[in-house]
């Protein structure tokens, strides 16, 4: 094939903004210039030597570009495309949906001079901006007709045509005009998309000044992997809630787009979609293979720390280590009782984390995990919120997707590792095994470092929501006569009470048990050069400070003799320096608001790292003088 652009190729594209099929197009070869990555897409300028047009490659072309098949200054043949308006300017941009590489990078950019037959004046390429009604390609004798009238087809029309014509799916896909999600904007008129439902939220009710209503959200993914969130209210919500089934492929038309609210958006898209009762949604039969399944971006358990209490949701995959029975939790906001189930998962980092499954996730897939807990199933979960309970914890949302033993490469690798090595490995909770230099865990112990006086002298800290800091302090006093532990259920760690007759009753698990365990919940006084404060400790943090479990300390306390081993154990923990990650919140006691400082993580002092921190502080002081 000749290494040359198609004369008037851009004019051909502009004259046919939405071709019904690629078979109607003449050969269009353009040069790619100014190729630049934008996220997982690439923008460029299409050049035919006379005119230039802003353009974009969707994400599916990334492999072609990264491999060097499509290059800057190279030539491509545009086989199919969509032409969009740029709302803020009177310009258009080209979305290439299908193309073939013609030539690698040329030495220079194509530039041609255009001669006017009437005047003999040479015009520069940028002056040739007027698109004629008929464009003639010299030497070929081909005339392109003026801009054709494009008839936009709705989702229902496409499906009806498909049912009436039993041609192969591939041939049908060529004649069907479906817009890629990346090409949509709020200023377009009619469009039809083909997407897979990759996430479906629960139906929620709301009440505001305009009355009561219901709403639910879905996430849609097209064949390029581009995602968009769609929302339905009231009649539309009731109409489409049962119709939308997770994992199925749909044609959708007659929706509206608007700029996405950054506070609530859950996918990487500048726009969000609203469907009303007049929108059309039709299932696309026999075309599931053309649209990818939900994509996971797994975060290893030891790397969850930076996401704690953040807005970003995470995907994880792990081997199920334990599953609790379903618990009934009463919401503080509306007193509703919702089901909850905790599972503990581990991965190749040999770290574990607790995942709380809520509502349907707890009763449906949670029960499946409980029934198969002895087989240590693999679970992949999409869209989890990362909290700071017990250091690091995960919770499902209504939009979360939970897959058991998924048929994926990641699942197979994890199963192979666990069966050969992981089953006998020693696992540690991510919340209780944090080091200052590790990638995981709660944020670095050198992040937001403050003195104790900074916390105690600011009584308003934590008034609206908990504040988080790091401190270096000594344990200066442990009150020996305080209640240091509570009796806990061995399954869910909730508090148990004496059962009628014998044993212990767990309200969370709704069962009796012959035995229980002791778990720390205590306070200690900590001190640094600026002052002192009382610090609340939970089980994992107290074990790190005291060096033994609550059951072991209880045995020491019950032993009699001249040497008080219980007091000695407490004394050994005094005046030892530690690095603490703390939360500061307000609580009410005797109608008086007080600060509650809680240790979220505790690690020994790394003196080398501490010295580097001090040198940095000294350097800053010198610079500011």
Mean pLDDT in runs of 10 for the chain (625 residues)? 78 80 76 84 89 87 86 90 70 85 87 48 43 42 44 53 46 59 82 88 84 90 87 94 90 90 75 92 74 78 80 91 86 76 92 91 91 92 84 85 90 94 84 45 64 90 81 94 91 84 81 90 94 93 92 88 82 93 82 85 85 85 81
DSSP tally for the chain: helices H, then strands E: 13, 33
Tokens standing for residue 277: 């009762």
- The total of other beta-carbon atoms located within 10 Å of residue 359's CB is 16
Q: What is the pLDDT of residue 155?
A: 57
Sort residue 448 into left (φ over 0), alpha (ψ -120 to 50) or beta: left
The β-bridge partners of 505 are 497, 512
Element (H, E) at 452: helix 452-456
Count of C-beta atoms within a 10 Å radius of residue 412:
13
Instruction: DSSP letter for 298, please.
Output: B
Angle separating helix axes 550-558 and 539-546, nearest 10 degrees: 60
**Structure tokens that stand for 501 in this block:** 């007759």
* CA dist., res. 624 & res. 599, Å (int): 33
DSSP-derived letter for residue 23 is: G
Residue pair 402/381 in contact (Cβ under 8 Å)? The answer is yes
Q: Which two tokens stand for residue 349?
A: 């980092």
Structure tokens at 539: 């089980």
What are phi and psi for residue 160, nearest 5 degrees?
A: -65, -40
User: CA-CA distance, 144 to 24, in Å (whole number)?
Assistant: 10
Token output for 250:
């749909």
Q: Is 450 helix (H, G, I), strand (E, B) or coil?
A: coil
Residue where the block lists tokens 């199963």:
415
Q: From the centroid of its chain, how far is CA 468? A: 23
Q: Give yes or no for a contact between 233 and 241, defined as CB atoms under 8 angstroms apart.
A: no
Write the CB contacts of 443 (distance below 8 Å, at least 6 apart in sequence).
Answer: 305, 306, 308, 468, 470, 581
* Per-residue tokens: 560: 């009699």
Maximum Cα–Cα distance across the chain: 118
For residue 494, the tally of other CB atoms under 10 A from its CB is: 15
Distance of alpha carbon 488 from alpha carbon 310, whole angstroms: 30
Structure token digits, residue 574: 């005094």
Instruction: Look at residue 262 in the predicted model and tell me its pLDDT.
Output: 72
Q: Among all chains, which residue has been given the structure tokens 């403050």?
A: 450
Q: Give the pLDDT confidence score for residue 273 in this predicted structure.
A: 94
Phi, psi (5° rounding) for residue 377? -70, 160
DSSP code at position 288:
G
């Amino acid at each position: 094939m000749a290494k040359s652009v198609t004369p008037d190729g851009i004019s051909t594209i502009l004259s046919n903004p939405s071709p019904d099929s690629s078979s109607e197009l003449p050969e269009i070869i353009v040069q790619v210039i100014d190729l630049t990555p934008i996220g997982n897409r690439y923008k460029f300028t299409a050049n035919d030597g006379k005119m230039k047009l802003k353009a974009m490659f969707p994400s599916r072309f990334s492999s072609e570009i990264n491999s060097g098949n499509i290059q800057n200054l190279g030539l491509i043949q545009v086989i199919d495309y969509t032409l969009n308006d740029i709302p803020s300017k009177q310009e258009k941009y080209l979305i290439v949906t299908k193309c073939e590489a013609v030539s690698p990078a040329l030495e220079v950019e194509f530039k041609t001079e255009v001669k006017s037959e009437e005047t003999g004046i040479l015009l520069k390429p940028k002056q040739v901006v007027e698109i004629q009604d008929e464009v003639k390609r010299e030497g070929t004798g081909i005339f392109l007709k003026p801009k054709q009238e494009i008839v936009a087809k709705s989702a229902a029309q496409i499906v009806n045509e498909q049912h009436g014509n039993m041609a192969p799916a591939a041939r049908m896909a060529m004649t069907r005009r479906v817009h890629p999600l990346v090409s949509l904007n709020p200023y377009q008129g009619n469009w039809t998309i083909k997407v897979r439902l990759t996430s479906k939220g629960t139906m929620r009710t709301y009440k505001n000044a305009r009355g009561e209503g219901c709403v639910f959200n879905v996430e849609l993914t097209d064949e390029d992997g581009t995602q968009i969130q769609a929302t339905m209210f009231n009649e539309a919500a009731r109409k489409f809630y049962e119709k939308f089934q997770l994992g199925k492929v749909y044609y959708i038309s007659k929706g509206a787009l608007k700029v996405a609210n950054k506070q609530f958006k859950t996918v990487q898209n500048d726009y969000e979609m609203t469907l009303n009762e007049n929108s059309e949604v039709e299932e696309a039969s026999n075309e599931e293979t053309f649209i990818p399944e939900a994509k996971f971006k797994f975060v290893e358990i030891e790397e969850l720390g930076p996401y704690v209490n953040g807005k970003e949701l995470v995907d994880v995959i792990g081997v199920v280590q334990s599953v609790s029975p379903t618990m009934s939790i009463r919401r503080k906001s509306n007193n509703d009782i919702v089901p909850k189930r905790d599972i503990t998962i581990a991965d190749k980092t040999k770290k574990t984390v607790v995942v709380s499954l809520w509502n349907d996730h707890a009763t449906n897939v949670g029960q499946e995990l409980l029934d198969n807990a002895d087989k240590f199933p693999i679970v992949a979960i999409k869209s989890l919120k990362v909290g700071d309970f017990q250091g690091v914890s995960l919770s499902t949302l209504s939009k979360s997707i939970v897959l058991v033993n998924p048929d994926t490469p990641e699942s197979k690798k994890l199963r192979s590792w666990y069966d050969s090595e992981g089953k006998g490995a020693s696992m540690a909770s991510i919340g209780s095994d944090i080091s200052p230099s590790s990638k995981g865990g709660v944020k670095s112990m050198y992040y937001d470092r403050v003195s104790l006086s900074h916390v105690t002298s600011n009584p308003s800290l934590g008034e609206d929501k908990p504040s988080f800091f790091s401190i270096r302090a000594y344990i200066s006093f442990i009150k020996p006569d305080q209640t240091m532990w509570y009796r806990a259920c061995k399954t869910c760690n909730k508090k148990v009470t004496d059962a009628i007759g014998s044993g212990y009753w767990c309200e969370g698990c709704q069962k009796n048990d012959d035995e229980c365990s002791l778990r720390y919940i205590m306070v200690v006084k900590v001190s640094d050069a600026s002052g002192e404060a009382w610090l609340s400790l939970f089980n994992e943090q107290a074990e790190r400070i005291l060096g033994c479990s609550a059951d072991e300390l209880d045995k020491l306390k019950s032993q009699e003799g001249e040497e008080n081993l219980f007091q000695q154990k407490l004394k050994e923990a005094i005046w030892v320096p530690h690095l603490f990650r703390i939360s500061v919140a307000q609580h009410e006691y005797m109608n008086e608001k007080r600060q509650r400082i809680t240790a979220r993580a505790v690690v020994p002092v790394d003196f080398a790292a501490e010295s580097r921190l001090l040198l940095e502080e000294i350097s800053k002081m010198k610079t500011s003088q």
